[in-house]
Structure 1
Amino acid sequence: MFRVERDLPLGVWRLITKFSLSNATGQYRPTNHAYKMSIIGDSKIKDSDFHCDDMFFSFASFEDVGNGSIKSHFLIEVIGQVESLKDVQTVQVKQKDRKKVEFRLRDTKGETIACCLWGKYAEQIESHVQEANDPNMILVIRFTKIGFYQD
């Protein structure tokens, strides 16, 4: 595992040969691709001349999130302006203290969705709000799951 972490630094393009493809199954998959790629013992990782600055975002529309047309077992990406940001709360979850923050995101069409972030993500929002003091905060959330918390 150390070799893979060392040879695949974040944000650097690499060429990977000799890998395994299998059916992508299970809950909370990061994409809706039918297959997943796995690095195996024989995998070769080399430098690549290819470079692309595309962040590969695929933002879900708030309408699709709200009407249930997105399968809840796929992780999604959303972007929007933070509205109705509540204070970070510490709540008991399975006899442990966890921080949570609730807010709404508004898209460019004016539609909103309710959001709830937990743990370190709630702490990150809390520290950013204290530092930035910006009422027009835009938030990108990657690999988030669709779920329901108190309706």
Structure 2
Amino acid sequence: MAPVYDKIASLNPIRDNWNILVRVIRFWTIRVGGQTTEIDMILMDDKGSRIQATVNKHIATKYDKLIREGAVYAIQNFTLANNTGGFKVADHEYKITIQGETIALLQYDSLVPATIWNSVKFDDVLGGVLDDSLLVDVIGLLSRVGEQRNFDGGKKMKQIVLNSFGVELTCSFWGHYVDEIDRYLSTNDPTNVVVVIMCGKIKEFQGKRSIQNMLHCCKIMFNPTILVALEFKESMAQQNPSLQQGVGHIVDASQVSLKDDFLNLHERKTLSDLKDLALTVFLKF
């Protein structure tokens, strides 16, 4: 008899014997001193529902080798906690904690799709109708690229502008994301480039809303061969059969303050969260 799996939408702390079949659609690690200290994932089931999963820090090294992005797993014996914090990578009331007793079995045959996208409309981002604490997926044609801006401490930032059916949205990227943009543009034709951004943070600066990367969870893809990107490009071409969207330059890039962006680039932690991190502080007198 085939196993019965629970749906992500039904997960709650009332039960503790959940068994889910999910694809890891995003996987990222935080390393300190060469050691993996934190692992986070976004899991998706066959209905497209998503939930965040965090690996207990004591077994982070094990799961860094065990789990891979894009694979499907049957997972059981995990716990659930409230999905709180300054931002959310999934619109679910709870998030999963993977612990020592958790069982994650790789599945080779599965009906879980590669991903089910729920990209938000540019008008909704710009109009402020979305929950700013929830990270979003966006898709658009690359329209313009700004110059790299450098800040103290080796920080760097680059802005790009995306076009979706005549509506433009500015996106700011920091750190290694700047290198990803430069690497793609230096080696590929910049005409009609579809850009898909996963887990972008909606931010407001000087009364204007835009998208930027958030910590390590954001993912940027150029001309990916996924269905949502192919359908978007076809729809844009149908609207404008002679479309030849090249890449221009951002002439009047908004002034971004590194100090003002600090809280947007780093997750807010409560005192309880900090206690859970078990950080050790050495004071030298």
1:29 maps to amino acid: K
**Paired positions, count:** 147
| Counterpart contact for 1:99–1:123, Cα < 8 Å | no
> Deviations 1:59-99 (Å, cap 9, x if unpaired)?
11111101111111111111100112123x2321xx31322
Q: Displacement, 1:114?
A: 1.3
1:136 maps to amino acid: N
Of 65, 83, 93, 2:143 maps to: 83
Of 204, 213, 216, 1:148 maps to: 204
2:142 maps to amino acid: V
Match for residue 283 of structure 2? none
**CA RMSD between the two structures:** 1.7
Q: Report the TM-score when normalising by structure 2.
A: 0.48
CA distance in 1, matches of 2:149, 2:121: 30
Q: Using CA pairs under 8 Å that are at least 6 residues apart, name the structure with larger relative contact order, 1 or 2.
A: 1
CA distance in 2, matches of 1:3, 1:97: 32
CA distance in 2, matches of 1:78, 1:22: 28
Give % identity. Answer: 24
| Counterpart contact for 2:140–2:162, Cα < 8 Å | yes
Match for residue 98 of structure 1? 155
- The yes-or-no answer on 1:112 pairing with 2:172 is no
Q: Report the TM-score when normalising by structure 1.
A: 0.88
Of 114, 132, 137, 2:188 maps to: 132
| Counterpart contact for 1:13–1:51, Cα < 8 Å | no
Q: Secondary structure at the match of 1:113?
A: strand
Match for residue 106 of structure 2? 47
Match for residue 79 of structure 2? 20
Q: Displacement, 1:12?
A: 1.4
Q: 1:54 to 1:11 in 2, by over 3 A?
A: closer
Give the number of the structure whose residues are more often helix, by fraction.
2
Q: Displacement, 1:7?
A: 2.5
CA distance in 2, matches of 1:40, 1:97: 36
Give the number of the structure whose residues are more often strand, by fraction.
1
The structure that has the greater radius of gyration is 2
CA distance in 1, matches of 2:90, 2:111: 22
Q: Secondary structure at the match of 1:59?
A: coil
CA distance in 2, matches of 1:35, 1:57: 20
